[in-house]
Structure 1
Amino acid sequence: MKLLVIGSGGREHAICKKLLESPLVETVFCAKGNAGMTVDGIQLVDISEDNHPELIAFAKKNQVDWSFIGPEVPLLNGIVDDFEAAGLKAFGPHKKAALIEGSKDFAKELMTKYQIPTAAHKTFTDYDEALAYVTEKGVPIVIKADGLAAGKGVVVAEDMNDATLALKDMLLDEKFGASSSKVVVEEFLAGEEFSLLAFVKNDKVYPMVISQDHKRAYEGDKGPNTGGMGAYTPVPQIPETMVQEAIEKVLRPAALGMIQEGRSFTGILYAGLIATNAGPKVIEFNARFGDPETQVVLKRLKTDLAEIITALLTDQEPSIEWETEGFEIGVVVAAEGYPAEYATGISLPDFSKFKDVTVYTAGVQKQEEELVSTGGRIYLVGASGASLAEAREKIYHNLQKADTDQTFYRMDIGHQGLHQK
């Protein structure tokens, strides 16, 4: 088979790499991809993810069997609808189903209607009304831009100053443009967070192994929210009973609810969850693989990923098996200043000197004969181990020896799981 993956980050690097492991797959194209992917035999296509006509023309010309859509923006722009209208297979939700990620207000309404457990919430477009509500409810409180904000449109306000500033940024100063013209204000939930993803085809839900992402920029979960600074799987402190409850009370009702709403979902459904004393509650839904969760979760997939997607696209029943032993962990290296202003053009280490780890590149390009940074999150270093401590040691051993000037990474990725059985 010839396959096309659309996107250019570390998530897409991991998806392409996993697809290439399949004996069924001859070629994996990635549009646009990034220069670091070529080391793994991924063929880059210089077409941006928002240029649907050119992507369709490329897929037809190169006889691509099916395409996998990585990021959220093309999904919300209706790329799957456009591919299918052109007679091409594409794996991902249609435009109207991708709204489960594209509007937090819509997702909250869905959860309320279908009794999916989540935080108490209210939606606002008026600054004064939102501020009055926050003042009444008190802090800590969570303020979210309604639309897409690349993982940065969520503020956990621990005091009234933070809350007021967040509301001002979003509703008055339009920090995220149209995405923050509406905000969702939620109660703060205490507990461990975890990510539960699933392959979904209409009413069929095939859960993946859970992982835990680290959203805050700095150690000790301090600093602003980012797109994710690292992840690990499994998450030993989250009991299996909690995971099963999340599958039955969150994933399955969400898939069935979307059908009821005339927005039947096919693709990767991502539930960001918090383990509360009252059971799992939803923080957010995404309509695609998470980044950096993908880089660790797919390493635990024993079944051929290309077989799974082919089965789902042809209404077959996939057989899916996951690794039950050991741990996977990934640590993101980002440009100093991220998620605010940051420099680009930073030289990357020589990854060929890294031992016992896998590197997934994201915001990089080739300049002369070396890789340099183009984005905030530059690359992720992943490792496997019989224990979480062993896997962490492999990553930090390599990073501490490498030239990581002008960049930073968290030293505490996976620390919550270290002392669990």
Structure 2
Amino acid sequence: MKLLIIGSGGREHAIAKNLLASPKVTDVYCAKGNPGMKNDGIQLVDIAEDDHANLITFAKEKGIAWTFVGPEVPLLNGIVDDFQAAGLDVFGPNKAAAMIEGSKEFAKKIMVDNQIPTADYEAFTDYEAACAYVKEKGAPIVIKADGLAAGKGVTVAMTLEEALQALKEMMTDHRFGESGDKVVVEEFLAGEEFSLLAFVKNEKVYPMVISQDHKRAYDNDEGPNTGGMGAYSPVPQISAAMVDTAVEKILKAAALGMMKNGTPFTGILYAGLIATEDGPKVIEFNARFGDPETQVVLPRLTSDLAQIIDDLLNDREPDLTWSEQASVGVVVAAEGYPNSYQKGMAIPTFNEQVNVYYAGVTDDQGTTKASGGRVLLVEAEAKTIEAAQKKVYSALEAVDTTGYFYRKDIGAKSFK
């Protein structure tokens, strides 16, 4: 099979590398991809994610067996609908189903209608009404932009001032553009967070191993929210019973709920969950693989990813098997991220004990240089989280990271 991946980040790098390892796959193309991917034999396609017509032409000309859509924006732009209309196989939710990520209020309605455990909430388009509600409820409280905000449209406000500032930034300063014209205000939930992803085909759900993402920029979960500074898997402090409950009451209920809603879901369903005293509750749903969770979950997959997706697209029962090994991934970000950040730094060369997934990089006259906020992720596997963590940090300490920063505590929560 020849396969096409849509996207350019570390998540797409991990997906493409995994697919290329399949004996059934001869070529993996990535549009647009990034120059770091070429190290792993992934072929770059210079067509933008939103250029559906040329992507479709490329897929037909190359005889692509099926296309995998990585990021959320193309999904919400209807790329799956367009590929299907052109008679092409594609793995991902259509535009209507991708709204489970595209609108926090849509997702909340699915949850409420299907008794899926989540935080109490109200949605607002009126700034004054939102402020009055927040003042009535008090802090801590959670403020979310309703639409897409690249993982940064959520404020967990520990004070009333912080909550009101978040509302102002979203609704009157338009920090996230139209995405913040409507906000969802949620009750604050206490507990340990974890990510549970699954392959979904209509009502059928095939869960993956869980992982834990680190959203805050700095050690000890301090600093601003980011797109994710690292992740690890497994998450030993989350019980198997908690995960089983989440699969039944959240993932399977969501898949059935989407069917009942007339928006059946096919693709990767991501549930960002919190383990509360009352069991698992949903923080958010995404309509695709998480980043950086993908880079620590897929290395633990021992069955063939290409075969799994091919089976799902052809209504066959997929086979999922997982390694007992632990995986730890640490994001190396540009100084200043998630605000304005440095660019143009050289890319360090890491030892062969680790995997490197590239994201914010560009080709500068034949040399790969840093160009984005999250530049790359360094991942390693070992028997334990501590051993995998040691491998990653040894590799990072051995190179010059001038102009970069990274958290020193990814995975530490698992053995505190």
TM-score, reference length from structure 2: 0.99
Unaligned runs of 5+ in 1: none
Q: CA contact under 8 A between 1:142 and 1:157: conserved in structure 2?
A: yes
Aligned partners of 2:11 and 2:227: how far apart in 1? 12
Q: CA contact under 8 A between 2:6 and 2:69: conserved in structure 1?
A: yes
Aligned partners of 2:107 and 2:366: how far apart in 1? 46
Question: How do 1:142-291 residues align onto structure 2 when only pairs under 5 Å count?
Answer: 142-291=142-291
Q: Tell me the residue number matched to 2:53.
A: 53
Amino acid at match of 1:344: K
Aligned partners of 1:160 and 1:320: how far apart in 2? 46
Q: Tell me the residue number matched to 1:330.
A: 329
Aligned partners of 2:76 and 2:175: how far apart in 1? 20
The C-alpha deviation readout for 1:274-316, integer Å capped at 9, x for no partner, is 0000000000000000000000100111110000000001111
Q: Tell me the residue number matched to 2:387.
A: 390
**Alignment root-mean-square deviation, CA:** 0.7
Aligned partners of 2:369 and 2:93: how far apart in 1? 33
Which residue of 391, 394, 399 maps to 2:396?
399
Give secondary structure in 2 for the equivalent of 1:73.
helix
Aligned partners of 1:68 and 1:270: how far apart in 2? 16
Q: Tell me the residue number matched to 1:69.
A: 69
How many residues are aligned here?
A: 416
Q: CA contact under 8 A between 1:348 and 1:403: conserved in structure 2?
A: no
CA-CA distance at 1:368 after TM superposition: 2.9
Give secondary structure in 2 for the equivalent of 1:220.
helix
Unaligned runs of 5+ in 2: none
CA-CA distance at 1:8 after TM superposition: 0.3
Aligned partners of 2:334 and 2:146: how far apart in 1? 27
- Find out whether 1:340 has 2:339 as its counterpart: yes
Give secondary structure in 2 for the equivalent of 1:118.
coil
- Find out whether 1:416 has 2:413 as its counterpart: yes
Aligned partners of 2:314 and 2:215: how far apart in 1? 36
CA-CA distance at 1:344 after TM superposition: 1.5
Q: Tell me the residue number matched to 1:82.
A: 82
CA-CA distance at 1:350 after TM superposition: 2.0
TM-score, reference length from structure 1: 0.98
Q: Which runs of 4+ in 1 moved over 4 A?
A: none
CA-CA distance at 1:370 after TM superposition: 2.5
Q: CA contact under 8 A between 2:193 and 2:212: conserved in structure 1?
A: yes
The C-alpha deviation readout for 1:14-68, integer Å capped at 9, x for no partner, is 0000001100000000000000000000000001111100100000010100000
Q: CA contact under 8 A between 1:333 and 1:408: conserved in structure 2?
A: yes
CA-CA distance at 1:418 after TM superposition: 2.2
Question: How do 1:357-396 residues align onto structure 2 when only pairs under 5 Å count?
Answer: 357-396=354-393
Question: Identity over the aligned pairs, expressed in percent?
Answer: 65
Q: Tell me the residue number matched to 1:21.
A: 21
Give secondary structure in 2 for the equivalent of 1:416.
helix
Give secondary structure in 2 for the equivalent of 1:227.
coil
Q: CA contact under 8 A between 2:9 and 2:360: conserved in structure 1?
A: yes
Give secondary structure in 1 for the equivalent of 2:320.
coil
Aligned partners of 1:346 and 1:186: how far apart in 2? 40
CA-CA distance at 1:355 after TM superposition: 3.5
